[in-house]
Amino acid sequence: MKKEEMTSIYKTKIDHIANNILKSSQLNLSLKPSFLSLMTFKIQQLYYKKDQDNNSLDYLYWKNNGWLEQTCFYYIETKSKLLKVIFARFLGTIIARIALK
């Protein structure tokens, strides 16, 4: 397929996706993660804190991003309600303790 054909086929789709991303970031829609996302983050956080191989790429990536810090509640700052965050972290802690025995 030639470059011109690919451009004509995909340019509209790419522009549409880029506009959606831009609108989402302007409206801060990405700053309200779901309960499940918050809970999953806590489970992953505890998993990587418990990781015995402190030289693994995953561990280092999480550590370098500051996601292993106790004060880190999610990958990015969120505008989630405090009760939702607290409950998700609590439930995530319980699940992680059971799963990571």
Mean pLDDT over the full length of the chain? 88
pLDDT above 90 for 66: yes
- Dmax (CA) for the chain in angstroms is 56
The domain segmentation of the chain, as residue ranges, is 1-28, 32-99
> How much is the pTM?
0.69
Do 33 and 74 contact (CB within 8 A), yes or no?
yes
Which residue's structure tokens are 């303790």?
Answer: 97
| pLDDT tens digits, one per residue of 16-59 | 888 887 777 676 655 789 999 999 999 999 999 887 778 888 89
CB 100 within 8 A of CB 47: yes
Q: Which pLDDT tens digit goes with each residue over 78-96?
A: 888 999 999 999 999 999 9
